[in-house]
Structure 1
Amino acid sequence: MVAKVVLQREVAREFAQGETEFEITAADVRQLIRQLELKFPGIRDRLCERTAIAIDGEIFQDPLLQSIDEHSEVYFLPAIEGG
């Protein structure tokens, strides 16, 4: 499935020359992150440690096995910490 992927600006600047939007082919979030890692070495750890992931507007707590539908939008957002 081809998904629209949106990175937060800070991550985009660090790994993707500031580009925030991509189209990635993947069946689930784990595959999507693998594809991003191939394109931008080192990004996987950053995405898995300090970001929340929203798929089609819904934020998931444990998204790695969450499937991605054709034309899904996947957003990597800053993690929200409670206090």
Structure 2
Amino acid sequence: MATIRIPTTMRSLTGNKGEVRVAGATVGEVLNNLEKAHPGMGARVFDDKGAVRRYVNVFLNDEDIRFLQELSTPVAEGDRITLIPAIAGG
């Protein structure tokens, strides 16, 4: 199981939990299982084609999955996934 760190803006979907534990062999499986456990999370993370939204950064431990194998990146027991939505401003 991996621990997923949930940003404050998405915690209403996880019962205000800052971290949840979810099973899966890849980052994609973990995120899909996150949606099953906490409906609504998938719409916040994935676009209509099933890719991670442009404005959501996903890190496995301290590595951006875009520089790994994206959603196919393997996840080991005890890994940490962090979701970071981009903040716009000016």
Both proteins in one fold, TM over 0.5:
yes
Deviating 4+ runs (over 2 angstroms): none
1:64 aligns with 2:71: yes
- 1:63 Cα offset (Å): 2.1
Q: 1:67 to 1:80 in 2, by over 3 A?
A: farther
Give ranges in structure 2 of 5+ residues lacking alignment: 47-52
Which residue number corresponds to residue 35 of structure 1? 33
- 1:40 Cα offset (Å): 1.4
Between Structure 1 and Structure 2, how many residues are aligned?
80
* SS class of match (1:52): strand
Cα deviations by residue, 1:57-76 (Å, 9 ceiling, x for unpaired): 11122621111112101101
The answer to whether the 8 A contact 2:65-2:71 is kept is no
Report sequence identity in percent: 19
The answer to whether the 8 A contact 2:23-2:30 is kept is yes
Q: Given the two structures, how large is their TM-score scaled by the length of structure 1?
A: 0.82
More strand by share: 1
RMSD: 2.0
1:17 aligns with 2:22: no
Give ranges in structure 1 of 5+ residues lacking alignment: none
Q: Given the two structures, how large is their TM-score scaled by the length of structure 2?
A: 0.77
